[in-house]
Chains A and B, each alone.
Chain A
Amino acid sequence: MCLAIPAKVIELTEDGRATIDLDGVQHEASIELVPDAAVGSYVLVHAGYAISVLDEDEALETLKLFREMAEIAAAEDARMK
């Protein structure tokens, strides 16, 4: 129900806002809900407000898990041939 997009904080502007960038499209969003957002953070933006700061380590962990599963599957396939 909630379209929130991951965008990079590229500049902190005044009044609790920041300029965010997704693939070259820039927009001003409020960061009042995520006070620990900094330039270079990736945040989830919904309705003009950042609602969460994305944790790169967690993201990499999740991707690592996918890759491990993919490797196991590929090895299985190779064994079956």
Chain B
Amino acid sequence: MKYISEFRDESLVKGIIREIRELAVPMNIMEVCGGHTHVICRFGIRDLLPSEIRLIHGPGCPVCVMPAESFEHAHALADMEDVVVCCFGDVMRVPTQSGTLLSKARESGSVRMVYSPLDAIKLAQENPEITVVFLAIGFETTAPSTAMAVKRVRNMGLRNFRVLSTHFTVPEALRALVDDPAVRVDGFIAPGHVTTIIGLDAYRFLADDYKRPIAVSGFEPLDLLQSILLILKQQRAGKPIVENQYSRAVRSEGNTVALQAMNDVFEKTDTRWRGLGIIPGSGLKLNEDYAEYDASKQFDLASVPIQPEPPGCRCGDVLKGLISPPECALFSEVCTPDSPIGPCMVSPEGACAAHFRYRSLPGSDLDM
């Protein structure tokens, strides 16, 4: 059992599709997670589904929703003497007023790509004369690793390590979406890896109060198809619940060690999501206990006025699922991965980039 190829087996797809067709009713199902968007596009899953089922994208792309201010702060820190900013590859190509973090990395070495916060800690350990700032991005899947890293740094007594936290949390964003009268979502495919951390109860309000069926899904094509089937079954039964399709990875209580670590290190904060506005309690920042590691407190970072989105950019509507990427007038005409206008095209996880990259054959309804 390797847990990958078994869940991509073509011979098993037919069976699920048959059942989906039998139960299909007109439904807007939101897949929240950028990782799910990627898989859906890469494997052409839309082409397998009956037309009544509309898969719409959600705001689960942490790079897409990062406000410009976070990028400007990262650049400002990298420009400071004896500071090196460490970040994941995901953010490095986002264009900002100060250029990209990638070009800064190539030119001056004051930005360094890492695969894990542990790499950033190692850099700080080996270079006591510089201050390493780790740009922490991502949702609850990634926040525990940041929390553990900060705790490790404290235990080591390392003095030259800071964190610039831009972590977001998913449940608050989902609440904001269902509260938005313009958003029409009938069911949710919940992000599997976030849920390994936060557990099933985090979404209970969506089923109990908002009566939306939910399936927590894995990331292989068969997982997504089964999740769609589970949602259709719930819809037919008229009893929305939070169902765990990803049972091989997700425990209903989540990961209690990770949740404790996050609790120890972070506190919730009201945070602006690019395209969605301020969502209460949807961000994580280092709490008072760990303030000495908080780059936003330890450095003088000027606040950056909120930039309007470029004219014609409809990333906000894409992130809320109001339109699909091809419905934006700029999509593929002006806004392409080579010359991205908005964040949904820049990040490989962004809905627009995924749609462009993995578009279907010309002539299908996904074509430009």
Chain A bound to chain B:
yes
Q: Which residues of A are interface residues toward B (Cβ below 8 A)?
A: 1-4, 6, 23, 29-30, 32-35, 42, 44, 46-49, 51-52, 54-56, 58-63, 65-74, 76
- Whether B142 pairs with A46 at a CB distance below 8 angstroms is yes
- Complex partner residue of A1 from B148, B191, B251, CB under 8 angstroms: B191
Query: Which residues in A have their C-beta under 8 angstroms from that of B6?
Result: 59, 63
* B contact residues, range: 35 or more
Q: Is B340 an interface residue (CB 8 A)?
A: no
10 example contacts (A-B, Cβ-Cβ < 8 A) are as follows: A34-B255, A47-B145, A51-B197, A51-B255, A56-B1, A56-B248, A60-B1, A63-B6, A70-B14, A73-B18
What's the minimum C-beta distance from B77 to chain A, rounded to whole angstroms?
20
Q: Which residues of B are interface residues toward A (Cβ below 8 A)?
A: 1-4, 6-7, 9, 11-19, 33-35, 60-62, 88, 115-119, 138-139, 141-142, 144-145, 148, 191, 193-194, 196-197, 219, 222-223, 226, 245, 247-251, 255, 257-258, 261, 349
The verdict on A33 contacting B247 (CB below 8 Å), with A49-B116, A59-B3 known, is no
What's the minimum C-beta distance from A81 to chain B, rounded to whole angstroms?
15
What's the Cα separation between A76 and B17 when bound, in Å? 13
Query: Which residues in B have their C-beta under 8 angstroms from that of A51?
Result: 141, 144-145, 193, 196-197, 255, 258
Greatest chain A CB density within 10 A among B14, B15, B142, B226 is at: B15
Q: Is the interface of A mostly helix, strand, loop or mixed?
A: mixed
- Whether A30 pairs with B191 at a CB distance below 8 angstroms is no
- Whether A35 pairs with B193 at a CB distance below 8 angstroms is no
What's the Cα separation between A29 and B15 when bound, in Å? 37
- Whether B3 pairs with A54 at a CB distance below 8 angstroms is yes
- Whether B255 pairs with A33 at a CB distance below 8 angstroms is yes
Query: Which residues in B have their C-beta under 8 angstroms from that of A46?
Result: 141-142, 145, 193
